[in-house]
Structures are given as structure tokens and as C-alpha cells.
């Protein structure tokens, strides 16, 4: 199944080659979870990441469906 992934800040380095504007369309196996997708892409599992499917906050155990947009945003700090 095909999905879109959007990785922000320092996570953008985990996008496949040829990705544009911190996003990419990729094919994944049916029933994959966000956690399995992160493992597949080599993204460290960080419970402080904000993870969304189609703009809604989700747990990393959530299953992804055909055409979903998965966004992962790392914790932001500053002063």
C-alpha cells in the first residue's frame, strides 16, 4: 500500500533519497504500525515525538491505512 511520510527537523535525514520538502510517498506492507514504519526507516523510537496520521495525534501502535499521511515531529526545545 502507498502512504505519504512527513518527517520534520532532524528526522528529515531518515527520508528516502529523492524526497522533496521533507516528505515522500512510499510503499509499505498492509497493516504496518507507526512503530514498525519507524523501525523500517531507522528512526529511533522516542516517546517524546509527536506522531500523527492525517493530522490527528496517534500512538505508535496505531495501524496505517492506504493513502494515509504519517507525520513525525521530534521534540522542540529552545530558549
Across all residues in the chain, what is the average pLDDT? 94
> In what helix (H) or strand (E) does residue 39 lie, and over which residues does it extend?
helix 34-41
Mean pLDDT of 29-36: 97
Q: Residue ranges of the domains in the chain?
A: 2-73
The predicted pLDDT at position 79 comes to: 63
Separation between Cα atoms, residue 54 and residue 60, nearest integer Å: 14
Fold classification of 2-73 is Ubiquitin-like (UB roll) (3.10.20)
- DSSP structure string for 22-37: TEEEEE--TT-BHHHH
pLDDT for residue 78 is more than 80: no
Amino acid at each position: 500500500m502507498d502512504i505519504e511520510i512527513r518527517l520534520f527537523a532532524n528526522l528529515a535525514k531518515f527520508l528516502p533519497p529523492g524526497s522533496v520538502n521533507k516528505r515522500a510517498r512510499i510503499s509499505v506492507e498492509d497493516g504496518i504500525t507507526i512503530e514498525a514504519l519507524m523501525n523500517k526507516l531507522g528512526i529511533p523510537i522516542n516517546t517524546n515525538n509527536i506522531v500523527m496520521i492525517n493530522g490527528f495525534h496517534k500512538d505508535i501502535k496505531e495501524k496505517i491505512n492506504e493513502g494515509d499521511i504519517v507525520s513525525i515531529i521530534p521534540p522542540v526545545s529552545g530558549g
